[in-house]
A and B are shown apart, each in its own frame.
Chain A
Amino acid sequence: MTYGKGATEVAALRQVSVAFPRGSFTAVMGPSGSGKSTLLQCASGLDRPDSGAVRIAGRDITRLREKALAVLRRDQVGVIFQAFNLVPSLTAWQNVILPSSLAGRRPDPSRVRELLHRVGLAGRERHRPAQLSGGQQQRVAIARALLGRPEVLFADEPTGALDRSAGHEVLALLREAVDAFGQTVVMVTHDPQAAAQSDSVLFLTDGQIVDVLDRPSADRIGMRLGGRR
């Protein structure tokens, strides 16, 4: 994966080969510019790699046309960014059902209610994003992603803009999504505490995977990061 042309060309990812098993929680770590966000964007179909393939549930998504990509994002992939995950003019409820509405489906209201309850937002269905805290907004985004039961849920620094306790709640929800719903989660983060929630941690440097840790503790991750610096 390269950005720019000629002299300004930058290779963001080189020869990265990785598989995220179904029902696993993977954290991707690395210094800024290591290509971790690019990896996530290629994997989620937001960006196309120059060469190579990205397969979701066995299907190569790199050759898909815009319409098919949209359907993929709607039905098979969930994405949560650091901030601005919600449509400002829609209520929490409307934001959760948005992908289903776009697909022309009417989701079961009791399931939507249950999901919002589960992420701790019961009674806030009719609030707009501006009336919710940062942590609450992230939890609405998680509820939205879970409603569609996507093949994989990508999270790019989901706790980056939150204070410690709100961040902790968001991470606990992602963990619960894996354990209780069998959801596959891939999360980019620079926080060892956040990465410690995952089943395995990928370390990226200069566009290449340099290490993998399974079931790591925050201390081990911290040491691993410290060792590189």
Chain B
Amino acid sequence: MSFAASFAAVLLAVMLVGGSGMVVAGAGARDDLSGVVGLLVLSAMVSGFVSVFVVAGMLSLHVLRRRRTWALLRSVGMTPRQVRRLVTAEALVVAVLASAAGCVLAVPYAAAMAEFMRMTGLAPTSVPVEVTSGPFILALVVGLAVTLLAARGAARKAVRVGPLEVLRESAAQRRLLSWPRAVSGAVALGGGIALLFLVPQVKAVAAVPTGLGATMALCVGASALGPVALRGMGRLLGAVAVRLDPGAGMLAGSSLVAQPRRAMAAASPAMLTVALACTFLFAVATGDAAAGVTRTGPSAWAAPMLVGSAVAYTVISVLNATAMTMTERTEEIRLLRTLGITPRQLTRMVCWETLTVTCAGALLGTGIAAASLTALGEAATGRPWFAYSVPQYAGLVLVCAVSGLAGALTSTRKARHGSLRHDG
């Protein structure tokens, strides 16, 4: 399950990066398409960033989930170095296979994107898709490098704890933030804020890429420092859940407060989806409004569709991440059942917890997008204002919540309905 998820994450990442690269290369070669190249580059940027983020997150979850295996190998005498090599080798196999498959799928994906651009009238003529080596090399390098880096980082974490310590796994996390994590988070956050101030200063063409860059930097910062914010939000949202549903709500809220890092792993993709999609969509809308352009018919769908595949990708990762964090809870769910939680209460608990986590992620994402968009509005119109669409925003949040719920409910299905028999 978690293998499949990592495989899918890398495959889709390579497909997105390779495909967008091909379309950009094809459009860039034609003078009559120069108008849309900027937008294409932006959407490719979003795709690339999302890919790196999701693959890294998915792999570290995967390695952490298997830490019992590593601990077991350590306890039978494997050295930390051997464990690290094993983790890396495993990741490499996944990365190579998934990247190869992703490259194959990148060609039809690029063709579909080009066709869609012609249909919506975004491009005046059809975009030629050229199968050149450039985008493939880029995608492969991104896929392999990110996979390996993420695996190495996670492997270091996996071997740092002693063999017994992991097997005796404690729920209370030792530290909320490690120093490297806190420092890199603070640097990213600082960089993002600096970019926000730069947005109104740079040339008009560079404003949107700078704004998008600010959103990305803020996302990295927020996901590193997120556990701290999430603990606070967990208390707040958890209190609401307890009010509405005392028993199940207490369980849902407490797991967020006790395990903010695990919760952040599940909240990050939702944050990313909302932050990036809102920045991209509403930046285009703000630009149009400032220029007095009204898009109707198929062209109104151009921007949403361009960012659509990246959104689809993050949504899948919302589902995956929720599913992975929930599978860890199998033992706890069985315990709750022996204590007499009713099937309905259990379902409600899983739903409350997922909704709390997804909402917290979406709230962080909203905050980030609002900051970048305000800066962009300032650049475009001179006022701290930006255009937005409530239906599009609500749709995004809803999609995140629904896919989170789907992931959580399917991954806990067996634990919720299976036999309670203990072996031994």
Q: Which residues of A contact B (CB under 8 A)?
A: 37, 41, 46-47, 66-67, 70-75, 77, 79, 81, 84-90, 94, 98-99, 101-104, 128-131, 144, 156
Contact = CB atoms under 8 A, between A and B. Distances in A.
A37 B422 contact: yes
Contacts of A73: 337-340
Contact of B341 (A47, A81, A85, A102): A102
The range of chain B's interface size is 20 to 34
B255 interface: yes
Interface in B231-267: 246-248, 250-251, 254-255, 257-259
B170 interface: yes
B171 interface: yes
B422 A67 contact: no
B170 A130 contact: yes
Contacts, number: 93
Nearest to B174: A130
B424 interface: yes
13 contacts: A46-B420, A47-B421, A67-B342, A70-B343, A73-B339, A79-B339, A89-B254, A90-B258, A101-B246, A128-B258, A130-B172, A144-B339, A156-B422
Nearest to A148: B340
Contact of A128 (B171, B250, B332): B171
B38 to A, nearest CB: 48
Interface in B339-390: 339-345
B422 A101 contact: no
Interface in B293-341: 331-332, 335-341
A77 B340 CA distance: 9
Contact of A71 (B342, B419, B422, B424): B342
Nearest to A80: B338
A70 B341 contact: yes
Contact of A101 (B172, B247, B338, B420): B247
Contacts of B247: 98, 101-104
Contacts of B340: 70-75, 77, 99, 102-103
Given A94-B250, A130-B170, A156-B422, A74 B339 contact: yes
With most chain B CB atoms within 10 A of its CB, the pick from A94, A103, A130 is A130
B253 to A, nearest CB: 9
Nearest to A85: B335
B259 A89 contact: yes
Given A66-B342, A70-B342, A74-B341, 7 more contacts: A75-B340, A89-B254, A89-B257, A89-B258, A99-B340, A102-B247, A102-B340
Nearest to A3: B421
A102 B419 CA distance: 21
B422 A84 contact: no
Shortest 5 CB-CB contacts between residues of A and residues of B: A74-B340, A88-B171, A130-B170, A89-B258, A73-B340
Interface string B383-424: 000000000000000000000000000000000000111101
A52 to B, nearest CB: 17
Interface of B is mostly: helix
B416 to A, nearest CB: 10
B343 A66 contact: yes
Contact of B337 (A70, A84, A90): A70
A114 to B, nearest CB: 21
Nearest to B258: A89
B422 A41 contact: yes
Contacts of B341: 70, 74, 102
Contacts of B421: 41, 46-47
Contacts of A47: 419-421
A90 B341 CA distance: 15
A94 B254 contact: yes
Given A46-B422, A47-B420, A89 B342 contact: no
A99 B339 CA distance: 6
A74 B336 CA distance: 10
A96 to B, nearest CB: 11
B339 A102 contact: yes
B327 to A, nearest CB: 15
Given A70-B341, A128-B258, A130-B171, A87 B246 contact: no
Given A41-B421, A88-B332, A102-B345, A46 B338 contact: yes
A90 B248 CA distance: 12
Interface in B264-300: none
Contact of B338 (A37, A79, A89, A94): A79
A87 B424 contact: no
A66 B340 CA distance: 10
Contacts of B336: 87
A3 B185 CA distance: 53
B337 A89 contact: no
A51 B344 CA distance: 28
B246 A89 contact: no
A104 B339 contact: no
Contacts of B424: 37
A84 B335 contact: yes
Contacts of B248: 102
With most chain B CB atoms within 10 A of its CB, the pick from A89, A103, A144 is A89
